[in-house]
Structure 1
Amino acid sequence: MPSTEKLLHFLSSSLICAAGVCLLGFGMSTDWAAADMTCGPIETEEFNGSSSLEIGLFNGTEFKINCPRISKLGIKVPVFDRLGKIAGAPIILHALVVILLGLALLGSAGSILVSLYNSFSNPYQTYMGPIGVYTCSGLSVCLASLALILYVANAFLGQMFETLVKADEAKVTLKDVKITLKVGFFLLIPYICFNMVSILMVYLYVHTAYTRRKEQEKPTEDAPKEIMMY
């Protein structure tokens, strides 16, 4: 039967990891970024219109004023459908972000299950032991970090917002794009931190148990050879 100390460490690890999953799940359902830009007809250089977007990973909203000659307020933006109309880096990078986040959630789920299993059993040093928590949570940290980097690159360098606007109105010229990252994106950071803390909780138990075991073995190792002969 696992000790109380082990129970507390592994249960804490699973609860912290579960909190991270809840954060990321909420983050994936809310807005990730917003953008404001000026626009005008492609055949002229008159930029007297504007377009504003607020998007999540799957859906968003657009507000157009004279962009280029029409105004529409509160247009629903299906992100994948619009990006798919203009094939290129934006749709590929956005799809990669969503896939990486899905795999990160899967890794966190694995870490929760392994931590709970260790709370009530003793698989010791098998893949279902602490190494399973390190692997699953570590994988989630790496995948979520990569998704964070790819999203920033897509938004600021990959012209994702320009693509979303032009997919709905091709004959438009855009400039002065101002992008603001929103709560969904920033929730990736505590999610990554929670997974790192879940690893730390298990590591602290393993380190403490290893130190205690070495201390218990030390008197036998230091005993005089004459005594050990009897």
Structure 2
Amino acid sequence: MPSTSKTLYYTSCALLTSISVGLMGYAMSREWVRLSMDCSREEINLFNGSATITLELFNGNLNRVFCPTFGEITQFSVIPKLAEMGVTALVLYALVVMLLALCLLFSAGTILISLYNSVSNPYETYFGPVGVYTCSSISTCLSIVVLIIYVVNVNLTTMAEDLVQDFSGPVDLRNKTAEMLLGYYLVIPYTVLSLCAMAIIYMYNNAAYRHRREQQRPTEDSPKEIMMF
């Protein structure tokens, strides 16, 4: 049976990772970005209209004012709509969704390995602390990649403009602005909690190593004459 300290450390790691999974699940259900643009019909070149796209991870809505009509709100599914329009935005967006799913998968691995270590003493394999380090580090790295790719997709591609023109027809668009929302920012505490989970196991391993060294020290410091008998 593992010691009480080991059980506490690994249970804490599993608890932190469970909280991070809850945050990620909540993030995936919230709005991620709001994109706003000035809009004008091509024939009049007067930018007195606007278009605002609000995206969750899987659903979105487009609010148009004089773009080209007086006002209209349209609901749509993000991935099917991107699949109709082009390749680049779709690939990047699908990659974000896939990486988020992998984050949840590896976080689940961290939880299972941590709980297993809290009730048993596995060898130094992937069922031990190495497994926690591996799963948590992969989750952390993937979540950072998600943050980067999502910002690149909404700011440096024409995804927003293509969405507006797909619904509105031929219009001129300019002055695009992007406001990141709660869903996006919740990925950051997920990343931090994944790092904290690794730090907890590192602290336990470091403390256990020091304890083993202290137990060996009396033998190492004994006079050679005594050790010969």
Deviation of 1:125 (Å):
0.8
Which whole-Å deviations, capped at 9, do the CAs of 1:206-226 have from their partners, x for residues lacking one? 000001101111111121111
State the Cα deviation string for residues 84-117 of structure 1 (Å, max 9, x = none).
2221321111111010010011000000000000
- Equivalence for 2:172: 173
AA at the equivalent of 1:121 = S
1:60 and 2:79 equivalent? no
Residue segments in structure 2 that go unaligned for 5+ positions in a row: none
Q: Distance in 2 between matches of 1:167 and 1:219?
A: 77
User: Quick one: structure 1 residues 86 and 70, their matched pair in 2 at CA, closer, same or farther if it must change by over 3 Å?
Assistant: farther
Return the letter of the residue paired with 2:165.
K
Larger mean Cα displacement after TM superposition, 82-91 or 127-136: 82-91
| Aligned alpha-carbon RMSD (Å) | 1.2
Match of 2:31, SS state, is: coil
Q: Percent identity?
A: 44
SS at structure 2 position matched to 1:54:
strand
Counterpart code for 2:9: H
Q: Is 1:47 the equivalent of 2:47?
A: yes
Number of the residue aligned with 1:152? 151
- 2:28 aligns with 28
Q: Deviations over 1:25-82 (max 9, x none)?
A: 0000110000121112234422222111211111012211121235313x11211122
2:162 is aligned to: 163
210-219 vs 79-88, which deviates more?
79-88
Q: TM-score, normalised by structure 1?
A: 0.96
Contact 1:17 1:194 in 2 (8 A): yes
Tell me the amino acid that sits aligned with residue 185 of structure 1.
Y
Structure 1: runs of 5 or more not aligned: none
In 2, the alpha carbon distance for the partners of 1:82 and 1:43 equals 27
Aligned positions of 1:114-193 closer than 5 A: 114-193=113-192
Amino acid at match of 2:23: L
Give the structure 2 partner of residue 201 of structure 1: 200
Mapped partners of 1:81, 1:49: distance in 2: 27
Shifted more, 174-183 versus 45-54: the winner is 45-54
Matched, 1:4 2:26: no
Question: The residue matched to 1:47 in structure 2 has which SS?
Answer: coil
Following superposition, the deviation at residue 176 of structure 1 comes to 1.2
Residues 32 and 55, structure 1, Cα contact 8 Å, conserved in 2: yes
**TM-score calculated relative to the size of structure 2:** 0.96
| 1:105–1:140 CA contact under 8 A, matched in 2 | yes
Between the aligned partners of 2:81 and 2:41, the Cα distance in structure 1 is 20
For the structure 1 residues 85 and 70, does the alpha-carbon distance in structure 2 shift closer, same or farther, using more than 3 Å as the test?
A: farther
